[in-house]
Chains A and B, each alone.
Chain A
Amino acid sequence: GAGVSQSPRYKVAKRGQDVALRCDPISGHVSLFWYQQALGQGPEFLTYFQNEAQLDKSGLPSDRFFAERPEGSVSTLKIQRTQQEDSAVYLCASSYKTGLNTEAFFGQGTRLTVV
């Protein structure tokens, strides 16, 4: 597709339920990022992939959060045993190359509500 695609757009989960959020980056983009955005805040970094390698996962808030990108394209962010504080918009971004001087393009996000 032309842009970064995320699914589902909205997800309501009962507390304790596991969820999986999908990201389809722009074709050919090497780098993929996951961000968490709370209401009224800027996006906060969660994790970064260069192709299939997860090079930085220091932003993941707990061991309930897990991300993978097994073939270097589509990525999945999984949250186990969801808690109310996990409610947020989860954004995925991709960029064509690695390094600092590049542009990152975001998907529309998945709004997760834990009830």
Chain B
Amino acid sequence: DIQMTQSPSSLSASVGDRVTITCRASQSISSYLNWYQQKPGKAPELLIYAASYLQSGVPSRFSGSGSGTDFTLTISSLQPEDFATYYCQQSYRAPQTFGQGTRVEIK
């Protein structure tokens, strides 16, 4: 299986901060990388697909970059509603696998 490793596992940030989360794949996955946001008690929501494409309806403060093995999710100006857990997922090779998650907390 392709292992997905996110860093950091958690972070504390303030409203308005720029936040960056990284995801590394154990082998090249081209651009088959997706990012999700999950709030407590809710299903994950797709933010970014194919590494850098913004899902319809997602605010433009979210962006993604990377290819191969190293990927980044950036929130340009953190908003109160962005405090959540973020997951990366590879859809390059079955079984599809997720990172362990990054919890974004209020400082």
Do chains A and B stick together as partners? no
Where the two chains meet, the residues of B that have a C-beta atom closer than 8 Å to any C-beta of A are none
